[in-house]
């Protein structure tokens, strides 16, 4: 697939996300908490990786706080290098955070590493088949592929606004599909054809 197709889609998706009104953004993160907890199977052994929001991304902090308050093991992603899978480090309420070169808040280098079985991902857009459009670095796709190939039974959950849906979304064989989409409007499960995940 030509790279410019994804570049054009990213430009459109960024504009679409920026245009989401404050009335939708307000309490969206809190609404998503209930949808996540109702839909996603969690156990005492679950290790959940989420993300710290950047810019106009969906506010994932209410979900992070709810999971931590409930005693779940929570981790945040860390970029360790170009073309490498993400590393995940444990995060607890009140932890001091570092700011990455991308401007993302992440656990300090000394935080314990973790292997999540639920990975909550941000995105620019998603489609009805469960494919997400990321920022172009391929970090989540590379990471999900590694986790899935290891037989770890990872669940990929996109967290974002319902308005980020795009009917036509370019994707290729490198793109790893989501299992679930959680938004302020509800939860959507994706069932993939054999060979997709």
What percent of the residues of the chain are helix, what percent strand, and what percent coil, each to the nearest 5? 30, 20, 50
Measured between alpha carbons, how far is 159 from 157 in angstroms, rounded to an integer? Answer: 6
Establish if 166 belongs to a structural domain: yes
pTM above 0.85, yes or no: yes
**113, β-bridge pairs:** 89
Contact (CB, 8 A) for 158 and 125:
no
Measured between alpha carbons, how far is 138 from 147 in angstroms, rounded to an integer? Answer: 14
Contact (CB, 8 A) for 166 and 126:
yes
DSSP code for 163: G
Establish if 141 belongs to a structural domain: yes
DSSP code for 164: G
Contact (CB, 8 A) for 135 and 92:
no
Establish if 164 belongs to a structural domain: yes
Establish if 155 belongs to a structural domain: yes
Phi-psi sector, 44: left (phi>0), alpha (psi -120 to 50), beta: alpha
What are the angstrom distances between the C-alpha of 3 and each of 6, 7, 170, 171, 181?
A: 6, 6, 10, 10, 25
CB burial of 22-39 (b: ≥16 within 10 Å; e: otherwise) equals eeeeeebbebbbebbeee
Question: What is the number of structural domains in the chain?
Answer: 1
Establish if 197 belongs to a structural domain: no
Q: Domain of 144: which CATH number?
A: 3.40.50.10420
Q: What are phi and psi of 133, to 5 degrees?
A: -105, 115
CA 171 from centroid of its chain's CA atoms: 17
**pLDDT tens, position by position, for the chain (197 residues)?**
456 889 999 999 999 999 999 999 999 999 999 999 999 999 988 999 999 999 999 999 999 999 999 999 999 999 887 788 899 999 999 898 888 777 788 888 889 999 999 999 999 999 999 999 998 888 999 999 999 998 768 999 999 999 999 998 988 888 999 999 999 999 999 987 444 43
Listed residue (87, 85, 196) closest to 137, CA to CA: 85
Establish if 195 belongs to a structural domain: no
Which domain, by its residues, includes 168? 3-189
Listed residue (35, 81, 57, 40) closest to 161, CA to CA: 57
Measured between alpha carbons, how far is 109 from 174 in angstroms, rounded to an integer? Answer: 29
Establish if 58 belongs to a structural domain: yes
């Amino acid at each position: 697939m030509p790279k410019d197709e994804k570049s054009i889609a990213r430009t459109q998706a960024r504009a679409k996300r920026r245009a989401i009104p404050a009335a939708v953004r307000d309490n969206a993160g809190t609404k998503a908490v209930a949808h996540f907890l109702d839909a996603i199977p969690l156990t005492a052994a679950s290790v959940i990786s989420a993300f710290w929001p950047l810019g106009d991304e969906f506010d994932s902090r209410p979900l992070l706080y709810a999971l931590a308050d409930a005693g779940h093991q929570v981790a945040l992603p860390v970029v360790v290098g170009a073309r490498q899978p993400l590393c995940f480090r444990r995060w607890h309420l009140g932890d001091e955070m570092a700011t990455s070169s991308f401007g993302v808040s992440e656990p300090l280098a000394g935080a314990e590493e973790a292997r999540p079985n639920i990975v909550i991902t941000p995105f620019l857009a998603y489609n009805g088949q469960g494919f997400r459009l990321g920022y172009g670095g391929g970090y989540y796709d590379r990471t999900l592929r590694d986790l899935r190939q290891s037989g770890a039974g990872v669940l990929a959950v996109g967290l974002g606004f319902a308005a980020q849906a795009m009917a036509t979304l370019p994707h290729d064989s490198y793109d790893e599909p989501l299992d679930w989409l959680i938004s302020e409007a509800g939860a959507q499960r994706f069932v993939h054809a054999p060979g997709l995940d």
